[in-house]
Amino acid sequence: MSEIDQRDGINRRKVLECMTWCGTGVLWTIAGGVPHSLGIMGEAQAAESRGLTFLQISDSHVGFDKPANPNALGTLEEAIAKVNALPQKPAFMIHTGDISHLSKEKEFDDADHIISQSRLDVHYVPGEHDLIDADQGKIYRDRYGKAAKGAGCGNAVERAVWNVTFPSTFCITWWM
């Protein structure tokens, strides 16, 4: 996409900015070793499941309340309602960062309450907003563990956590 898409005036930066404040959700399917992504609305509703499916959500920013998204918790509730309306339940969910906006206990409590309504096994990878408390992520680590909640995520999750925590060393550790 060019700096400004001539068809509708939207540029990449504006799309990413919007995603940052309202979160994202994608249903993934893996069949024959090939991943395929679907949105969590119409396309996922109509899709036939072939192979493993799992849900990825990100950037809930629970606690954020500015004009871009004055009700981040309500946005998360809407996303989980869409997950619950899927015709086939995904195998698990992974939240890939920024569960909270300011790393506060209440933000994590509120997010956990809403996310638990999906009744899915949920794994977490922290975003930078999940690690900005005075103790540099203690609230997150006490709640979800050192790396990610849940077993079987393997090195990919550990590397993602390393990327958020120590971004300047990520490329060095990725290949080791």
Whether the model clears a pTM of 0.85, i.e. scores above it, the answer is no
Domain map (residue ranges) of the chain: 12-27+52-174
One digit per residue, pLDDT tens: the chain, 176 residues? 344 445 656 654 555 445 444 456 777 777 777 777 776 555 544 456 667 888 889 999 999 999 888 999 999 999 999 899 888 889 999 998 899 999 999 999 999 999 999 999 999 988 899 999 999 899 999 999 864 444 344 444 444 444 445 444 333 333 33
Closest CA to 89 of 55, 63, 113, 116: 55
Q: In what order do the strands lie in the sheet with 24-31?
A: 34-39, 24-31, 52-58, 93-96, 122-125
DSSP 62: B
User: What DSSP line would sit under 8-32, residue for residue?
Assistant: TS--HHHHHHHHHHH-EEEEEEEET
Q: Considering the domain 12-27+52-174, what is its CATH architecture?
A: 4-Layer Sandwich (3.60)
